[in-house]
Structure 1
């Protein structure tokens, strides 16, 4: 069984036992959280697609850790204009382990 969930403005296809990194969620490490924005649930040939959400569907997950992704470098330059700008960014994330999908 798998589900498509929406969190942090992004969509993720998840199944039980998977580990995913999502935008930071304010929850303690080790806490069980419920993700109730489920867009689609599928099992074998049967697929339930929500309009826009599947009613009554929930995904439970355990918070494994919080961290920061690798640094990305932003470099802007205008040729022949003596303009260069360097900037870096590291996005925070929360690592989740999907424990169950309830349709």
Structure 2
């Protein structure tokens, strides 16, 4: 059976045993977390959430994502260049 849950402004389709990579949460590795915002469980669709449904997961590790480079260059004669980058933090949970 599968479920669709909502966390960090995104929706994830999960099944038992899946490894999920979500936005950074305020918890440590090894803790059990519970997602209460469940949109779908099997063939049962919530409006907006399924009453009494929850998904539990264990946090595996905190992972830093790949660095994203943002390069800006102005065109024409008086050009300027700017480079920025960031790497977002995320949690891996099962």
Could you state the TM-score of these two structures normalised by the residue count of structure 1?
0.87
Runs of 4+ in 1 over 4 A off after TM superposition: none
- Counterpart pick for 2:67 among 67, 71, 75: 71
Shift of 1:17: 0.2
- The reply on whether 1:83 has 2:80 as its aligned counterpart is yes
Residues in 1 aligned to 2:64 and 2:28: alpha-carbon distance in whole angstroms = 16
**Residue aligning to 1:5:** 5
TM-score of the two chains, using structure 2 as the length reference: 0.95
| Alignment coverage as a number of residue pairs | 93
The CA distance in 2 between the partners of 1:71 and 1:83, in whole Å, is 23
TM-superposed CA distance for 1:33, in Å, is 0.9
The structure in which a higher percent of residues are strand is 1
Shift of 1:67: 1.8
C-alpha separation in 2, matches of 1:25 and 1:40: 22
**Aligned residues: CA RMSD:** 0.8
Match of 1:101 in 2: none
Distance 2:55 2:67 in 1: 30
